[in-house]
Amino acid sequence: MLPVDLFDPRHYANVRKPALQGAETLPAWCYTSQAFYDREVERIFKKVWNFVDRVDRIPNPGDYFVFDYVGVSTIIVRGKDGKVRGFANTCRHRGSVVMEGEGTCKQMQCPYHAWTYDLDGALIGAPFMEETADFDPARYHLAPVRLEVYGGFIFLCFDADAPDLKAYLGDFIDNTRGYNPDDLVVVRRQEWIMECNWKLFYENFAEQYHIPFIHKTSLNRQKRKITPPEPCNGNYVALYTQHPGSRMLLAGDTGFPAIEGLKGRDAEGTYYPSLHPSTMMGWCIDGMWWVRSDPLGPERTRITAGSCFPRKTRARDDFAEVAQRYYKRLDLTIPEDIKASEDQQRGLRSPYYKPGPLSYLERLVNTIDNWVLDRVLDPPAEAQKQAAE
């Protein structure tokens, strides 16, 4: 049952407890209710830095793609100056979307009445407007959307007042610099739609508890040493596993050489950061992949995945053939996690569902849930009073 005081902190007292000292999972409505979902969209997805894609998706001036995300359509376009920019995909005339899909353009032209925008968003053409008094094209620039890039990864933020990307990501930047992320290129993208809440897949990625069961015949053949979550100073959580070889491959498969210059811990295992709100990454010795859980509604989610390798690896003659072994792993394991998340969603709908306890292998589920609650719930009255003073 959905309580009327849905956002009263008392409903979440057990989620707020320390991970192994009585902490429980979130109430069912956090995964099923429209009201909780709407709060997440307004207070999380429209407030923070959201990972979008890689800059190498649009390598040349005029290359663009449209990114539809939490009800906001954004054009990501590379300008004549080589800079990647984001613009709200809504015409300054009567609001039509201006661009669709992806491709290359010289200018951006609205399909409705052919208002035309330069690649920097300036209105450069508006037919039949000469009789409109005081019509000044300079006032009708496409609305810019905040966009920043780290290591070739594009991020958007719909909040003008949010701190910059560097502040948001914190030491995630230092922890991935050794992989030379600017040199990576995306070699394959995939998409799935799943019938469950976005958090279920996101929580799943941050816990190792399910691996022997959900990935019984795929990942469980890989030896793993269980280590506690990594310390993180930024809006993310992370796990690290030390092991020989690449975790972009299934056990027994061989692949590409390691990323040049990779040193120390980076060269001895895999780093799994989960960037809030919902981007999961695997940084391996020979490449990296991301999976993002995009909310489409309380019980509907789009999963997008990308596989990345260094430019030199992609240029190899045997690339297409060897890459198949890498794709095999993602193609096997992501559907396993999707099924687990959808099964969990079906169970959560039961009137008999009650929040449950967590194992030491699921500490980050509690960290994620608290990160969400910190943003979705109102701050305590005392904190509000202090902030107002």
Residues that bind ligand FES (CB under 6 A): 91, 93-96, 110, 112-113, 115
Give the Cα separation of 155 and 198 in Å (integer): 19
The position carrying tokens 């909780």 is: 36
Q: How far is the CB of 339 from Fe ion (least distance, A)?
A: 10
Q: DSSP alpha helices (H): ranges in the chain?
A: 29-32, 34-40, 165-169, 172-176, 198-205, 211-214, 311-314, 319-348, 363-376, 381-388
Residue (60 or 132) nearer to ligand FES, CB: 132
Q: Does 207 bind Fe ion (CB under 5 A)?
A: no
Q: Which stretch binds Fe ion (CB under 5 A): 122-130, 256-264, 278-286, 331-339?
A: 331-339
Cβ proximity of 274 and 240 under 8 Å: no
CB of 225 to Fe ion, least distance (A): 17
Among ligand FES, Fe ion, none, the one that 96 touches (CB under a kind-dependent 5 to 8 A) is ligand FES
DSSP string of 104-118? E-SSEE-TTT--EE-
200 binds, among Fe ion, ligand FES, none (CB under 5 to 8 A by kind): none
369 binds Fe ion (CB under 5 A): no
193: which strand partners? 302
By C-beta, is 69 or 115 nearer to ligand FES?
115
Please, which residues have CB within 8 angstroms of residue 385's CB and are 6 or more apart in sequence? none
* Phi, psi of 201, rounded to the nearest 5 degrees: -70, -35
Given ligand FES, Fe ion, none, residue 297, with its beta carbon under 5 to 8 Å by kind, binds none
Contact 330, 218 (CB under 8 A): no
Question: Residue 337's binding partner, choosing from Fe ion, ligand FES, none, with beta-carbon cut-off 5 to 8 A by kind?
Answer: Fe ion
CA dihedral 10, 14, 17, 18 (to 10 degrees): -160
Given a contact cutoff of 8 angstroms between Cβ atoms, the answer to whether 30 and 36 are in contact is yes
Least gap, CB of 56 to ligand FES (angstroms)? 30
Region from 127-135, 277-285, 290-298, 335-343 binding Fe ion, contact rule CB under 5 A: 335-343
Q: What residue 113 binds from ligand FES, Fe ion, none (CB within 5 to 8 A, per partner kind)?
A: ligand FES
* Nearest CB to ligand FES, comparing residues 94 and 106: 94
Does the footprint of Fe ion cover residue 337 (CB under 5 A)? yes
Binding site for Fe ion (CB under 5 A): 337
